[in-house]
Amino acid sequence: MTRRLLMTADAVGGVWQYAIGLAADLVRAGWSVDIATLGPAPSPDFKAQAVAAGVTLIDTRLPLDWLATDAHDVVRAADAVAALAAARAVDVVQLNQPALALARFAMPVVAVVHSCVASWWEAVEDGPLPADLAWQTDLVARGLANADAIVCPTRAFAATVQRLYALPVAPVAIHNGRTLPAATGALAHHAFTAGRLWDRAKNVATLDRAAAALPLPFRAAGPTLAPHDERIVLRHLEPLGRLNDAAIADALAPRPIFASAARYEPFGLAVLEAALTGCALVLSDIATFRELWDGAATFVPPDDADGFARAIAALAADADLRRTRGALARARALDYPPYRTARSMAAMLDRVTGAARQVAA
């Protein structure tokens, strides 16, 4: 019997890569998967990925929680997704925006916390959460309280979520997965970073300062302007703009030295992609990166621009060391295959569905 899943996603950040990769693996395992996107419309490239994955893509244009202007927008989106799930007659729902779980769903709900405003604020800002963000945290708390199961991408982030939302038990940690071939050939003579460059949590400003002290180019892929108009001005990094998956793979193929100075990163798919191709990693010393990459990366305090410059320069000056560190990163990255993510998520979805059927019986 085919199991039917409705999964939410957005076309703004890394959630899309997670969602489409997981959906494709679940389809191959016999599931029927609908992906409902919220926020800005998916690009033609994203639509093509959905077709290739055998996924039904539903562009709802509903408000995306972290771009919404008030609680009413999120509540309206939650109710609409619940109605869509009922109309599609799915067996289970995976919400990659946990606040949506506050609605009344007719079937079990698994909430996946990829990030949240409360944990972002704690890592990036000082003082109490301001009122214009506190309402988002309240909605996430309501959603998590309603969910039949909660998942986070790392144990470190799961512990943070449990503490911030006073959950009776920690969310289940299921690492994200990705597949990319190892690169060969000559090493590129530059450093590289990728992600939402405008996001203060990514702390690209530290890498921008580090780039000024480096004897090699330092390139940055990703948007510098946010959908809500937040912007970063790069003075020393070489901006490449937003790159699609194929262009990112091409950028990683010569194995540049990959750096991330993130103050907040619940997982970090860009790091995983770089590691899979064999890039040496220079990462901020935060709990999630330690969990995933301890022993396979060079760690630097997040705001130490000089430390990042020294670590990158040391790798650039020693090709043997750089290849060794890249091989270590690649070996660790192979511990996070997408089939394991899909298998764990499928088991979770089956568990909550089975539990609901037992209660109904």
Dump pLDDT digits (tens) for 315-350: 999 999 999 999 999 999 999 999 999 999 999 999
Q: How far is CA 67 from CA 117, 144, 227, 273, 341, in A?
A: 11, 19, 8, 27, 28
% of the chain with per-residue pLDDT over 70: 98
DSSP 65: G
Each residue's pLDDT tens digit, 109-168: 999 999 999 999 999 998 889 888 899 999 999 999 999 999 999 999 999 999 999 999
Domains of the chain: 4-177+338-360 (3.40.50.2000), 191-333 (3.40.50.2000)
For tokens 């750096």, name the residue. Answer: 259
Residue 358 has pLDDT above 70, yes or no: no
For tokens 């970090």, name the residue. Answer: 268
pLDDT, average across residues 62-81: 92
Each residue's pLDDT tens digit, 241-277: 999 888 999 999 999 999 999 999 999 999 999 999 9
- Alpha helix ranges (H) inside the chain: 15-28, 44-53, 71-87, 117-124, 131-146, 155-164, 204-212, 245-252, 269-277, 287-293, 305-317, 319-333, 338-360
% of the chain with per-residue pLDDT over 90: 86
What is the pLDDT at residue 187? 95
Backbone CA torsion sign across 20, 22, 27, 28: positive
What is the pLDDT at residue 132? 81
What is the pLDDT at residue 143? 98
Backbone CA torsion sign across 194, 198, 199, 205: positive
Q: What is the pTM of this model?
A: 0.93
- Going by C-alpha positions, the residue among 3, 195, 206 that lies closest to residue 108 is 3
What is the pLDDT at residue 184? 83
What is the pLDDT at residue 229? 73
| Residue 52, beta-bridge partner list | none
